[in-house]
Chain A
């Protein structure tokens, strides 16, 4: 039983290893891109939408609304990043119902990579929105003594992001594997359904938390009202 798809190696050339994580990530990327291309190549502005166009519009509109609700800003510039986080994680977790598939999000390498992306995206969006000075100044507030704690907070929440997603998905996979060996009928299916639900929730949580972090960086130091209106991150399970 493999704990992580990193251990599944398909091909190796020097230091680069084509393991299961990368392979399944490419699969998910290919599915998402191909599906999007197939649907959006014939988009029309007619009020009578196709089912697939309707599905995509519901997805995109839902993500935009969530971003706008959390950030209280225009969702345009955050949509590709946050939306891709959600779609990638959701699709990765959804495909676990396919036999033989290993979710890339069950690899700590993948979740770490996503968390690093968020870790980098926060200052990038913050500086792009407010400028480097204003953004960096909030690390020394309320006093410069808080600088190390703020830095630790940034790092720890990034680690938490990575570990939370990895733990949930990996644990689901492991539980199903263990149940398959103990009670091969019925219970693994139930747990897999539960895993699907957990996977969707984790995708939502990851994307929302990323948006909350970015929103806190882009709306920082705008006065007491902005501080009061700073969106509260949802409680993670």
Chain B
């Protein structure tokens, strides 16, 4: 175990040279590269942090905008819903009014149609009744009936109004006696005689046949009319039936 001091000194020098060499070729380049990379990474990190902050800011902005939009949408939706509800109510109300008007109009039309129909029916009924009665009376009219009618008329002459009597007594115009049938001569004489008796003076008379009268006799003189006619009964019947229809119509409940 010897120490060669020359070798020792050489090794010292060698070691110091090695220190310099490694410092020059190893430590400095490696440390420099690491520092450079570290700076680069730090720079990237800083950039990334800035971008992250910007991204976060943008995200917050978008979230806020989104929330505003959602709120606005909800508000618009609620408003639209409210308007739709109101519009629906208005439309329903309008439809109700229109329906009521249409219904009233329809009811009015129905009522008018009904009235028209009833009136038609009434007129047709009257016409039918009258036709039937008129035909029946015409069919029934024979000499006995005519004679009977004539006697009834003569009875009426005996109960003339004073006005008629005065008029007939003063006039010089002939009285016209119309009949629905041909009067037998004795009946004509009986009538003349009875009229003369009732007035107290002879009255010129003309006899004529009238189809207008169904079954009856009519005396016309100076605007005064004295008659007995079955059509009067029919007229009365028609009046009665009209009254009955009016009464029945007024009792109908208002639709």
B117 within 8 A of A: no
| Bound: A15/B25 CA distance, A | 33
**Is the pair B7, A109 in contact by a Cβ cutoff of 8 Å?**
yes
Q: Which of A35-43, A131-139, A143-151, A182-190 contacts B (4 or more CB under 8 A)?
A: A35-43
| Bound: A46/B2 CA distance, A | 51
**Is the pair B7, A21 in contact by a Cβ cutoff of 8 Å?**
yes
A-contact 0/1 string along B15-52, CB 8 Å cutoff: 11111111101110111111011001100000000000
**Is the pair B22, A83 in contact by a Cβ cutoff of 8 Å?**
yes
B67 within 8 A of A: no
Contact of B9 among A104, A107, A113, A114 (CB under 8 A): A113
Residue in A closest to B33 when the chains form the complex, CB atoms: A43
Residues in B with CB closer than 8 Å to A109 are: 3-5, 7-8, 11
A5 CB to nearest B CB, Å: 9
A-B Cβ contacts below 8 A, count = 123
Residues in B with CB closer than 8 Å to A107 are: 7
Q: Please count how many residues in chain A sit with their CB below 8 Å of the partner chain's CB atoms.
A: 44
B1 within 8 A of A: yes
Q: Which of A54-62, A191-199, A229-237 contacts B (4 or more CB under 8 A)?
A: A54-62
**Is the pair A19, B25 in contact by a Cβ cutoff of 8 Å?**
no
17 contacts between A and B (CB under 8 A): A6-B7, A22-B7, A29-B14, A32-B21, A33-B18, A37-B25, A40-B29, A44-B33, A47-B41, A79-B31, A80-B27, A81-B19, A84-B19, A108-B2, A113-B8, A113-B14, A113-B15
Which B residues lie at the A interface, using CB under 8 A? 1-12, 14-23, 25-27, 29-34, 36-37, 40-41
Which A residues lie at the B interface, using CB under 8 A? 3-4, 6, 15-17, 19, 21-22, 25-26, 29, 32-33, 36-37, 40, 43-47, 53, 56-57, 60-61, 79-81, 83-84, 87-88, 104, 107-110, 112-114, 116-117
List 6 tightest A-B contacts by C-beta distance, closest first: A113-B11, A40-B29, A109-B7, A36-B26, A80-B23, A43-B33
